[in-house]
């Protein structure tokens, strides 16, 4: 009976946590909805537009800090803040390099977090190692595919090496996310990659702009950040549950 009662208690705790987390995420959902409501194809670049676009990532950072504490500013919460900076920069086309640099820092912080003890497994299955190798090969192939278009872009002397570094960092983030085995984290990293692929193909004129191209980019992007944030909260919760189990 004790075991059954403990299992039932754990299920109630997880259910209560999910409900509380959903409540905390309501501002994120409202801010994302506001962005799509206000955004139009001919929207001018403005500080207000930058604020509306970056608000969802900042609100997710606040959720992660409120659940995991200030140390998360050096992890996923910090990555979300850098992402918000990148969101604001990309509102103005002449700040693209700055935005890409901010997102590169976000991927680096995510990667370092995914290597922490809260995520890491005792051993990495061989299939994950093969999948990581495939990730980097696909990333390199995609870079070579868009390389001719990068050469034609303004400031190509910065764009070409910058995109190469960025491609490496997002590929690294994706491989380390898969290594964690956390479903929200894995799906979040994959959604982030889909968003960046869709953005780069259109931004660098590899393909014509899609009719709903911006919506595809932003929906997958906001979804990615949401899943990565939720994955970080749950990873911390799992660590605390494991610590309690060891002490009992």
pLDDT at 116: 87
pLDDT at 19: 85
pLDDT at 152: 93
pLDDT at 243: 44
Taking 50 as the pLDDT cut, the residues of the chain under it are: 1-9, 241-248
pLDDT at 133: 84
Q: What is the pLDDT of residues 161-170, one digit of tens each?
A: 999 999 999 9
CB atoms within 10 A of CB 203: 18
Q: Where are the domains of the chain?
A: 2-247
Task: Determine the Cα–Cα distance for residues 173 and 111; give it in Å rounded to an integer.
Answer: 5
């Amino acid at each position: 009976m004790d075991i059954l009662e403990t299992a039932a208690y754990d299920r109630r705790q997880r259910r209560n946590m999910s409900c509380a987390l959903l409540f905390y995420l309501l501002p994120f959902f409202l801010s994302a909805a506001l962005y799509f409501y206000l955004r139009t194809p001919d929207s001018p670049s403005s500080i207000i537009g930058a604020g509306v676009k970056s608000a969802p990532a900042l609100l997710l950072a606040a959720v992660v800090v409120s659940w995991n504490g200030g140390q998360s500013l050096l992890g996923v919460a910090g990555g979300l803040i850098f992402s918000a900076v990148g969101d604001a920069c990309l509102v103005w086309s002449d700040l693209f390099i700055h935005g890409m640099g901010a997102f590169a820092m976000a991927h680096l912080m995510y990667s370092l977090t995914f290597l922490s003890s809260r995520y890491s497994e005792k051993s990495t299955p061989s299939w994950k190692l093969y999948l990581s190798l495939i990730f980097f090969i696909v990333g390199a192939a995609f870079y070579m595919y868009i390389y001719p278009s990068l050469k034609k872009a303004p400031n190509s002397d910065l764009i070409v090496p910058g995109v190469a570094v960025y491609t490496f960092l997002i590929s690294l983030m994706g491989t380390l996310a898969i290594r964690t085995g956390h479903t929200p984290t894995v799906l979040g990293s994959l959604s982030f990659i889909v968003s960046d692929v869709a953005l780069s193909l259109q931004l660098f004129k590899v393909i014509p702009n899609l009719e709903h191209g911006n919506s595809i980019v932003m929906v997958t992007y906001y979804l990615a950040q949401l899943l990565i944030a939720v994955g970080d909260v749950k990873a911390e919760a799992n660590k605390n549950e494991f610590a309690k189990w060891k002490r009992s």
